[in-house]
Each structure stands twice: as structure tokens, then as C-alpha cells.
């Protein structure tokens, strides 16, 4: 039988891994989308990207900052006039960022 502290450690590792995957997917969205944005839209997305990352920054959370949500990211992508293939790729990456269904 597994000890409770071992289970907590595994949970922390899984959470850390999920944050890393989420960050990598956000970078993939950025590198896919940015070349197709105007300078103004790229600057807007840069700010949006930083606000998305607030969800992973403990200091920002403690200060009361609210991270952008996946729905807001989805809406941002859909609001830009991107080629259909780029929009589809980015929205697929956003879907991969969604938390998995609970096992229980």
C-alpha cells in the first residue's frame, strides 16, 4: 500500500507535469499564430500570453491577478482573421490544454 505522503508527492509531480505541458502547448500556439498576425495583434497576443501564464505564477496569484482562461484564448484565436488551417491547428492545441476528465 502506498503511503499518503508518497501519493501527495505523485500528485504534485503530475500537477507540475500538466503545467509544463500547458506551457509547451501555449508556446506552440504562439509560434503557429504569431507570423500570421499584424504587429498590433501580435502585441495584443503578447500581453494575452503573459496573462495566460499568470495561472502558473504563484506570486501573481497571491497578488490577486486573474489568469486568462482557455475560453478566452479560444475566443481570441477565433476573433483574428487567420488562415483556416492555422485557426484549426491553434484550436486543437487549445483543446489539448483542457484538463482531463476525472478518473472517478
Is residue 23 a part of any domain in this protein?
Answer: no
Is residue 58 a part of any domain in this protein?
Answer: yes
Is residue 53 a part of any domain in this protein?
Answer: yes
pLDDT for residue 99 is more than 90:
no
pLDDT (0 to 100) of residue 1: 52
Is residue 36 a part of any domain in this protein?
Answer: no
Is residue 19 a part of any domain in this protein?
Answer: no
pLDDT for residue 41 is more than 80:
yes
Q: What's the per-residue H, E or C state across 39-98?
A: HHHHHHHHHHHHHHHHHHCHHHHHCCCCCCCHHHHHHHHHHCCCCHHHHHHHHHHHHHHC
Is residue 92 a part of any domain in this protein?
Answer: yes
Q: Name the residue range of residue 76's domain.
A: 43-97
Q: Over the stretch 52-87, which tens digit does the pLDDT of each residue have?
A: 876 656 676 677 767 788 899 999 999 999 999 999
Is residue 1 a part of any domain in this protein?
Answer: no
Q: How many domains does the chain divide into?
A: 1
Amino acid at each position: 500500500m502506498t503511503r499518503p505522503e508518497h501519493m501527495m508527492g505523485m500528485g504534485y509531480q503530475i500537477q507540475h507535469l500538466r503545467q509544463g505541458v500547458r506551457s509547451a502547448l501555449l508556446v506552440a500556439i504562439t509560434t503557429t499564430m504569431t507570423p500570421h498576425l499584424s504587429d498590433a495583434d501580435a502585441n495584443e497576443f503578447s500581453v494575452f500570453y503573459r496573462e495566460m501564464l499568470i495561472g502558473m505564477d504563484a506570486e501573481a496569484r497571491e497578488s490577486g491577478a486573474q489568469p486568462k482562461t482557455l475560453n478566452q484564448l479560444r475566443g481570441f484565436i477565433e476573433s483574428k482573421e487567420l488562415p483556416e488551417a492555422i485557426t484549426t491547428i491553434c484550436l486543437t492545441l487549445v483543446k489539448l490544454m483542457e484538463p482531463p476528465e476525472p478518473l472517478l
